[in-house]
Amino acid sequence: MIPTIHLFDIDGTLVTGDGAGRRALMRVFDRRYGRPDALDRIVFHGATDRAIMREALLALAVAHDDAHVDAVLAEYVAELPELVGADGYRAHRGVLPLLEALDGRPGLALGLGTGNIEAGARVKLTPPDLNRFFPFGGFGSDAEDRAELLAIGAARGAARLGVARAACRVVVIGDTLRDVQAAHAIGAFCVAVATGGNTADELRAARAEVVVDSLDDPAAVAALTG
């Protein structure tokens, strides 16, 4: 078996939470700048947390250096547990059985490939008890560019497997065009699921290798379990 690294996106792919993350950020922008509307024109699907913050700060014509981005994100993470808990962030259909089938397989490293900073990612995965499946990942706290954070996650997965990254097959599982594009940018195979940011037709047009309506689709299970 070729050593394989699976990198899962979170929002729209693993879980749904009815916009709790956006509402947490709105609270922060209201408190800091009196502008809960600062995020209204920003597309979250497939974007990284740091890129979202920088775009919003730029739109407000306020300081948008790394220190200010980090300060906003720290407040966001503090707000997130209450909203995620209230919304009852839940796993999408088929996610838990699939992860249980993949967990512990020899030659397979199961990780995250998400635009969420790691602290936020861990909060979002707590209500559905999914953190236990993902000991590593590439996160929005590693890089603002999605392809770059996926490359970091792949390198960490290879290290866990004890092999060179070049010897590994990398599979990215996501729900947006940005997931597909970033996967291809690092030479990865993409399983795209139409449970979040884009439709199945849009994901097919982006040339995702496998497109499914949910992660309990036999095609997704076959692609990920071999």
For residues 205 and 20, give the distance between their C-alpha atoms in angstroms, rounded to a whole number. 29
- pLDDT band for position 207 (50/70/90)? very high
Convert the pLDDT of each residue in 180-202 to its tens digit. 999 999 999 999 999 987 999 99
End-to-end CA distance of the chain: 9
Smallest CA-to-CA distance from 181 within 152, 213, 203, 212 is with: 203
Q: What average pLDDT does range 200-209 have in this prediction?
A: 97
Domain limits, the chain: 4-16+90-225, 20-87
For residues 152 and 158, give the distance between their C-alpha atoms in angstroms, rounded to a whole number. 10
Convert the pLDDT of each residue in 83-129 to its tens digit. 887 766 789 999 999 999 999 999 999 999 999 999 999 999 999 99
For residues 95 and 73, give the distance between their C-alpha atoms in angstroms, rounded to a whole number. 28
The sign of the CA dihedral 69, 114, 121, 110 is: negative
**Which has more pLDDT, 134 or 64?**
134
CATH number of 4-16+90-225: 3.40.50.1000
Contact predicate 144/100, CB 8 Å: no
Q: In the prediction, which pLDDT does 87 show?
A: 61
In the chain, what percentage of residues exceed pLDDT 90? 81
- pLDDT band for position 41 (50/70/90)? confident
Convert the pLDDT of each residue in 7-22 to its tens digit. 999 999 999 877 888 8
Q: In the prediction, which pLDDT does 64 show?
A: 86
Mean confidence (pLDDT) of the chain: 93
pLDDT at 226 over 90: no
pLDDT at 179 over 80: yes
Residue 6: count other Cβ atoms within 10 Å of its Cβ. 28
Q: In the prediction, which pLDDT does 18 show?
A: 73
Smallest CA-to-CA distance from 56 within 21, 77, 29 is with: 29
- Interstrand relation of 15-16 and 90-91 (parallel, antiparallel or unpaired): antiparallel
Smallest CA-to-CA distance from 172 within 14, 56, 1 is with: 14
Residue 105, both tokens: 């397989």
Q: In the prediction, which pLDDT does 89 show?
A: 75
Phi and psi angles of residue 23, each rounded to the nearest 5 degrees, phi first: -65, -35
